[in-house]
Structure 1
Amino acid sequence: MSLKEEKEKLAIVNAFMAYTLENDHFPKSVYKFCKKNEMEEKTFYKFFGSLDRVKESIWESFYKNSMSLLKKDENFEMAKPKDKLLSFYFTFFEVLLLNRSYVLFALAVDEKMMVKMGQLSSIRKMFKGFASELIEDGNVDKPSYLQHPPKIFSEAAWVQFAFLLKFWMEDSSADFEKTDQAIEKSVQTAFDVFDNTPLSSLVDFGKFLWKEKFSTL
């Protein structure tokens, strides 16, 4: 894709997000969206087959921007799997923070679950691929009987991702410090499970969740 085409595609994405936030709803049709933005439909269809595909692309861009930032750090590739995952989460939520209004709307409570999860289908695939690589790296020095299947554990990693995303959306603490704590504790727990030493971190994470979610009931 040429630089000009990348700019055209980005302009469509930005217009989509702006339209959504300004009108409190997603565009209803490609025709109306293009008319509102003085854009020819053929320009839209050059990059996207549907409005739903734009939604997916937005989440893809959040992921790609995060990975691009991480790879600028020369130490990232040499880091341990646990540190890579921590770095990813901290960077990813910083990227989301720049687009928090859109994220909160896109994953609004009143949206149907299938609609919400549909727009995450692409990032789910990308994140699970990343998680699988981390799992494979973690398996390298383990005997075969202690190695963990990437397919199963990457799915567990996606569940963790979804949990942290929901936690961040509901977090009202200053500078989202509670989300930072949730990231650290959940990643520690995940890797303790991966290393077959889960008890202490499970208890610690359980206490954290109880304090944050149930102490005010």
Structure 2
Amino acid sequence: MAKKKKVAASDILTMYMDYVVEHHSKPESVTSFTEIHALDEEVFYTHFTSFKDVEKDIYLLLFENSVAILKQTPEYISFTKKDKMLSLYYTFFENLSLNQEFIKINLKGFENQLKAFSTFSRLKRGFKAFVEDLDLETISLNVDTIENIQKKTIKESFWIQFLFTMKFWLDDTSEAFEKTDIFIEKSLNTSFELLNTKSLNNIIDLAKFLYKEKVK
């Protein structure tokens, strides 16, 4: 059988996911994977450097598809920032549910945070870019350095929360992942309330004072 010399990256992603679901493990090697699918090995390396590279793209693609679906919704533009975030979570985790067989095999041992951080590196960049585009309000300090730290902290905090939600979803055995939906709503409500909590002013005032004293 002649080997295919032109295959789209998206086709390789699908082949990889199907293989993992069927065999409950990743392929032994790129060579064996391409032979099974009658691909020229060079075609694989045209798009990806390794299976880890494939996995990184899978999670990024799931996220980008979720964002694209949201932005095609006519009502999305009128959503509040919190509702945009909630809608993203619900859409993304619905996409995870549609692909749960692959994801639960692929993320077995999710407790290994180093593995998760590596696999989600592109997803993380996409997620943090989404949070940045929301332009969530920070407390005005008139100190650029501290305000930049605030923005970075907000993006990192939401990312950590996102990871916690993924772990919760992986462990969720409720029907149609109903408990995950509840967790998403409660955790995001809490996060947005914290962004607006007036008691944070005292902490920020102290940080501002310490910063000014340090630069004198």
- 1:165 partner amino acid: M
Q: Is the 8 A contact 1:13 1:54 kept in 2?
A: yes
Summarize the Cα distance change of 1:193–1:158 in structure 2 as closer, same or farther, 3 Å threshold. Answer: same
Provide the identity percentage. 32
TM-score, with structure 1 as normaliser: 0.80
Give distance in 1, aligned partners of 2:68 and 2:172.
26
1:166-211 deviation line (CA, Å, top 9, x unaligned): 111111112211111100100000001100168xxxxxxxxxxxxx
Q: Is the 8 A contact 1:106 1:116 kept in 2?
A: no
Residue equivalent to 2:102: 102
Compute the displacement of 1:34 (Å).
0.4
Alignment of 1:25-104 (within 5 A): 25-104=25-104
Alignment of 1:172-211 (within 5 A): 172-196=173-197
Three-state SS of the structure 2 residue aligned to 1:13 is: helix
Residue equivalent to 1:128: 128
Matching of residue 20 in structure 1 with residue 20 in structure 2: yes
Give distance in 1, aligned partners of 2:97 and 2:12.
21
Q: Is the 8 A contact 2:30 2:41 kept in 1?
A: yes
TM-score, with structure 2 as normaliser: 0.81
- 2:133 partner amino acid: E
Residue equivalent to 2:211: none
1:47-103 deviation line (CA, Å, top 9, x unaligned): 112221100010011001101100111221332211111000000011111100111
- 2:191 partner amino acid: A
Say which is worse superposed, 89-98 or 142-151, in terms of deviation: 142-151
Residue equivalent to 1:138: 137
Structure with larger RCO (C-alpha < 8 A, sep 6+): 2
Gaps of 5+ in 2: 1-5, 200-216
Summarize the Cα distance change of 1:125–1:191 in structure 2 as closer, same or farther, 3 Å threshold. Answer: same
Compute the displacement of 1:112 (Å).
4.5
- How many residues end up aligned between the 2 structures? 191
Q: Is the 8 A contact 1:132 1:151 kept in 2?
A: no
Q: Is the 8 A contact 1:48 1:54 kept in 2?
A: yes
Summarize the Cα distance change of 1:197–1:96 in structure 2 as closer, same or farther, 3 Å threshold. Answer: farther
Give RMSD over aligned pairs. 2.4
Larger Rg: 2
Q: Is the 8 A contact 1:56 1:120 kept in 2?
A: yes
Q: Is the 8 A contact 1:70 1:76 kept in 2?
A: yes
Gaps of 5+ in 1: 1-5, 199-217
Say which is worse superposed, 25-34 or 189-198, in terms of deviation: 189-198
Compute the displacement of 1:116 (Å).
3.1
